[in-house]
Chain A
Amino acid sequence: MMSARPRTAIAPARRYPHWPIHVALLLVSFCMLVPFYWVLKTSLTGENIFVYPPSVWPVAPHLFYYVDVWYYIPFARYLLNSVMVSGLAIGANVVFNAMAAYALTRQFRGRGLIITLLLSCMMIPFQTTIVPAYLITGKLGLLNSYLGLALPTFSTIVCIFVYKASFDAVPRSLIDAARIDGLSELQIIMKIMVPLSTSAVATNVILSFIWSWNNFLWPLIVVRDPQMQTLPLGLSRFLTYHENTTGALYAFCIMVLLPGIVLFLLAQKEFIRGLTSGATKG
């Protein structure tokens, strides 16, 4: 299915000036970074943020708060738990959502009903499901376990629809050809749909990671054993009554934030429009 057009024959589109875009993006970036700057600054200085006027430059910055965080709470253990739980969540999401999305690209009776059902499931906020979710997890015997922690996040509707949008864009002809070649449905998903939807996979990975990593209320309810707690639960240690731990609190938040950023950076290339994506989908 290669295009017969030689590259050189493409007429360049009229160039548009880049500088307005830069100005706009710089403005947006500035707005996005200002709160961050303060979080970072306070994590390095631990200063009292209730002093007026606020000081713009950090006074006597040091990294001790980051070290403190490691010792205030069993950071390493919590990190391990979070990694396990998020790992499970990512794996399940990438697989289950792809399967569900593929099923939804097919015409079948009850499809509209299922889609309505899924959309309405999105409308049930977690805070209203705490008690029954706990009871159900208890009945399944999964309290205090990685699986129990991760199970509610194993599939999300947003991610299913992201996959679906991507799958819908795959030309029918490719799928038909694959069926004719005798590929099973599962193989079609694995060998054709998913490779062509790398941005959807990346989105699934990033989102399911963030939602399971930052999940606070569910681990709080479902985990009793201190050895099974996840990182966000360590937050309470920095919100004590008795001492002012603002510097350590902000350092903790930055440390919890980092893996999400790293994951995004690694997945960056999936969001770059390149010649590759056009060719394989064209």
Chain B
Amino acid sequence: MGDAGTIQVPRASRRRNVPRRANAAGSKRRRELLLVWVFLVPSLLVFFLYRVLPLIWNLVLSFQEFSLFGATRFIGFDHYVDMWNDDVFWITLRNTLLYMASAPIGIALALAVSLMVNSEVRGRNIYRTIVFLSYPLMTVAVGIIWRWLYDEKVGLFNFVLRSLHLVDQPLPFLQSFELALPAVLLANVWQILGFYMIILLAGLQNIPQNLYEAASIDGASRRQQFVRITLPLLRPAIFLAFVIGIMTSFTSFDLVYVMTQGGPSHSSELLVNYIYRAAFELSKVDYAAALTVVQFLLLVVLTWLGNRLSGGDAGAVESE
């Protein structure tokens, strides 16, 4: 079949005395670039329409005073100034960061479960299905049942705690300022474990079997195989899980909405919940837009920071 260099060279390049190889490679690269873009377009189009444009809409709106039924006028940075002085903003921001900081727990748990389920234990199909069961369940259902589990008077958790005499007074999980957010977090981990699990399992499938075989022959112990083969090659999947964990903590609207509606007194309210409430319950779509912009910028900064801290190559999500 020959190599690219011996293909018929365009006459123009011959005239210009450009070395044959480079020019053929140049057009090949252009073709490749075109192809890459053609492949990217469908996805990029969806994101452009439903993420980028809305973000721009929010950005423009954040500098305006918007009235549903009247005129809109430009007010510059007023909303951002209001935000600075808004306690609720700072409370919800803090809650969101706390939520985010506990994402690693869920991921670590999912990693442990994935590894166990991927080993040769009998009945792993059943275990795998059981762990996954919670993810396709509608979040409203998850919220409702966990609300009952946490109920101070009639909930299962308090029933167990009291039966085992671990507490004398029942714990008002969802009405407690300290416990409400962790309570929602636990329900979230319960639901999302299956999701992390299949991401990590898919990552485990990418590790070639014969590496383990070769290592076995070379006398490596299971533990060494795990540390030297599994973990490093699982790094992209783990990094992806982390990124997802951080994103979902900023976008995990439904569970808080159903379980506590941000209560009591904003102690379990996430920034995304505040944005929704500001837009639709307090009828301040313009302020909500400003909050959206701030949240987005914050996430960009956090991701950039995370990237730098983890070695700078996006944890091999974009390696090779």
Bound form: Cα–Cα A268–B133 in Å? 13
Contact A203–B202 (Cβ < 8 Å)? yes
Bound form: Cα–Cα A232–B320 in Å? 42
> Which of the candidate stretches B6-14, B152-160, B175-183 sits at the interface with the other chain?
B152-160
Contact A133–B118 (Cβ < 8 Å)? no
Please provide the chain A residues from 98 to 133 with a CB less than 8 Å away from any CB of chain B in the complex. 99-100, 102-106, 108-109, 111-112, 114-115, 117-129, 131-133
A242 proximal to B (CB < 8 A) = no
Contact A271–B46 (Cβ < 8 Å)? no
A53-B159, A155-B43, A161-B240 known; A271 vs B205 contact (CB < 8 Å): yes
Bound form: Cα–Cα A265–B240 in Å? 24
Bound form: Cα–Cα A168–B1 in Å? 26
Bound form: Cα–Cα A131–B289 in Å? 11
Contact B206–A52 (Cβ < 8 Å)? no
> Which of the candidate stretches B16-24, B31-39, B259-267 sits at the interface with the other chain?
B31-39
A54 proximal to B (CB < 8 A) = yes
Contact B216–A10 (Cβ < 8 Å)? yes
Contact B222–A109 (Cβ < 8 Å)? no
Please provide the chain B residues from 177 to 225 with a CB less than 8 Å away from any CB of chain A in the complex. 190, 193, 195, 198-199, 201-210, 213, 216-217, 219, 221-222, 225
- Tell me the minimal C-beta distance from A73 to chain B in angstroms: 14
B125 proximal to A (CB < 8 A) = yes
B92 proximal to A (CB < 8 A) = no
Contact A100–B40 (Cβ < 8 Å)? yes
B140 proximal to A (CB < 8 A) = yes
Bound form: Cα–Cα A103–B40 in Å? 6
* Residues of chain A lying within 8 A (CB to CB) of residue B317: 115, 161, 164-165
Interface of A is mostly: helix
**A82-100 interface bits toward B, Cβ cutoff 8 Å, 1 = contact, 0 = none:** 0000000000100111011
Please provide the chain B residues from 109 to 127 with a CB less than 8 Å away from any CB of chain A in the complex. 112-113, 116-122, 125, 127
A264 proximal to B (CB < 8 A) = yes
Bound form: Cα–Cα A166–B42 in Å? 20
Number of interface residues of A (CB under 8 A): 114
B70 proximal to A (CB < 8 A) = no
Bound form: Cα–Cα A35–B189 in Å? 13
Interface of B is mostly: helix
A115-B314, A129-B50, A257-B137 known; A199 vs B205 contact (CB < 8 Å): yes
- Chain A: which residue is nearest B210 at the CB level? A282
**A1-28 interface bits toward B, Cβ cutoff 8 Å, 1 = contact, 0 = none:** 0010100011111101010011011001
- Interfacial residues, chain A to chain B (CB-CB below 8 A): 3, 5, 9-14, 16, 18, 21-22, 24-25, 28-29, 31-36, 38-39, 49-54, 92, 95-97, 99-100, 102-106, 108-109, 111-112, 114-115, 117-129, 131-133, 135-136, 151-152, 154-155, 157-158, 160-162, 164-166, 168-169, 180, 182, 185, 199-200, 202-203, 206-207, 210, 213-214, 216, 232, 235, 249-250, 253, 256-257, 260-261, 264-265, 268, 270-273, 275, 277-279, 281-282
Q: Give the 8 A-B CB pairs with smallest separation, nearest first.
A: A278-B209, A260-B136, A129-B54, A125-B251, A253-B141, A132-B54, A169-B206, A123-B299
Known contacts A117-B47, A133-B50, A257-B136; 5 additional CB pairs below 8 A are A18-B121, A123-B303, A125-B253, A169-B207, A257-B138
